[in-house]
Amino acid sequence: MATKKARTLRDLARMKRALAPGHRACAGCPFPVILKILMSATDDPLVIANATGCMEVTSTIFPYTAWPVPWIHNAFENAAATISGVESAYKALKRRGKIKTEKEIKFIAIGGDGGTYDIGLQSLSGAIERGHDFLYILYNNEGYMNTGIQRSSATPMYASTTTSPAGKVIPGKLQWRKEITDIMIAHQAKYVAQASPSHWVDFMKKVQKALETKGPTFINVISPCQPGWNYPPDMSIELARLAVESKYWILYEYRSDANNGLGGYKINYRPRKEVSIVEFLKPQRRYRHILDRPELIKDIEDHIRRNWERLERLEKELPLEE
C-alpha cells in the first residue's frame, strides 16, 4: 500500500486529496477535516460507499460533488452491504483479469452514528462476519443531526435532543451510549479503533493500519456537531480535543490476531493532566440543564472512570505490541 507521511498541519494542508470546496457542511463541521485526513492517508485508489446522512446530503448537491473518488450512496441502512457487493465484484473481476490497474483498490464505507449504531448495524454486522476487505468509518456526531437533532443510540446520557428533550422531570436522554466499538471487537473485525480529528496524526496512522490490514476493519471517529451539540462554531476541534483529554472519548485500538488470536488492546493516548468533564460539557448547550446538577455530572464521571478502567485492564491483560 502506498501510504503518505504527514507530521505537521502544513504537510496535511499540502495533501491534495480532500473534499472539494463548495460543499454545504455547516460552519465548523469537522467531517470535511475527517475526510481530508482519511483520503490523504493513502495514494491507493479508493471507492467509497456513503450512508444517508448529513455527509451524504451536504457533499453531493446536484450538479456538484465534493468527492474526488468514486462514490456511491444507496440508502440509510446499507452502506456496509453496498460496499460488500462492490468489493466482491471487484475481487471476481480481478480474478478474471478484468481490472486494468496494478494498484490495489481500497474500499471504504462511511456512515454516521444513526446509520451505523441503529438502522445500519445489521448490515455492518453481516459485512464484518462475511469478512469483506473494507474499512468502515463511523463519523460519530452522537445523534440524527441531518433530520433535526434526534437522539440515537450514540447520544450520550443526559444530552438534550428533540426526541429526548430535557424538561423539569426528565434530564434529557436516560441511556448510556451503546459501545459500538466493543460490538465490532466482539465481531472479531481485524482492526478496530477509536479516533478523533483533534489527534489527526493518530487518526491518519489508524487509517493506514486499517487499510494495510486484510479483512474488515472499523474506525469510530468522534465528530462534534455545532447545531446538534449547540456550541460556538469555532470550537469543534477544541471540543473533540476536550473529549479526548477528559477521557470521554478514549483513543484506542484493537487487533484480533494479537496475542495468538486472543486479541490485543492499546490505549493510544493517555492525558497527562486531569481535565474535568465539565470543561467538555460546559460549552455545549445540549448539557446546559445538568450543569447545576452535580449528581448527574457525577454519573457521567463514574461512567467515564468505569470505561477507562475497563480498557486499562484489558490493555494490561491483552497488550497490543507493535
Respond yes or no on whether the N-terminal peptide bond of residue 216 is cis (omega within 30° of 0): no
- In the bound complex, what is the minimum distance in angstroms from residue 225's beta carbon to other proteins? 14
Give a three-class secondary structure readout of 89-153.
Answer: HHHHHHHCCCCCCCCCCEEEEEEECHHHHHCCHHHHHHHHHHCCCCEEEEEECCCECCCCCECCC
> What is the DSSP secondary structure assignment for residue 174, as one 8-state letter?
-
Of the candidate residues 76, 107, 191, 265, the single one contacting other proteins (CB under 8 A): 76
Residue 83 has which C-alpha cell?
460496499
What's the rounded Cα separation, in Å, for the pair 235 and 13? 20
Binding to other proteins by CB under 8 A, coded x per residue (else -) over 33-52, reads -------------------x
Place of cell 465528530: 223
Nearer to other proteins, 117 or 280 (CB): 117
Per CB under 8 A, 22 contacts other proteins: no
What's the rounded Cα separation, in Å, for the pair 121 and 126? 9
Binding to other proteins by CB under 8 A, coded x per residue (else -) over 96-115, reads ------------------x-
- In the bound complex, what is the minimum distance in angstroms from residue 128's beta carbon to other proteins? 18
- Name the phi and psi angles at 210, rounded to 5: -65, -45
Segment near other proteins (CB under 8 A), from 17-25, 62-70, 84-92, 161-169? 161-169
How many of the chain's residues bind other proteins (CB under 8 A)?
24
> What is the DSSP secondary structure assignment for residue 287, as one 8-state letter?
G
Per CB under 8 A, 73 contacts other proteins: yes
Per CB under 8 A, 75 contacts other proteins: yes
What's the rounded Cα separation, in Å, for the pair 272 and 291? 25
Per CB under 8 A, 61 contacts other proteins: no
Of the candidate residues 18, 119, 124, 189, the single one contacting other proteins (CB under 8 A): 119
- In the bound complex, what is the minimum distance in angstroms from residue 169's beta carbon to other proteins? 7
**Contact positions vs other proteins (CB under 8 A):** 52, 73, 75-77, 114, 117-119, 121, 144, 146-148, 150-151, 153, 162-165, 167, 169-170
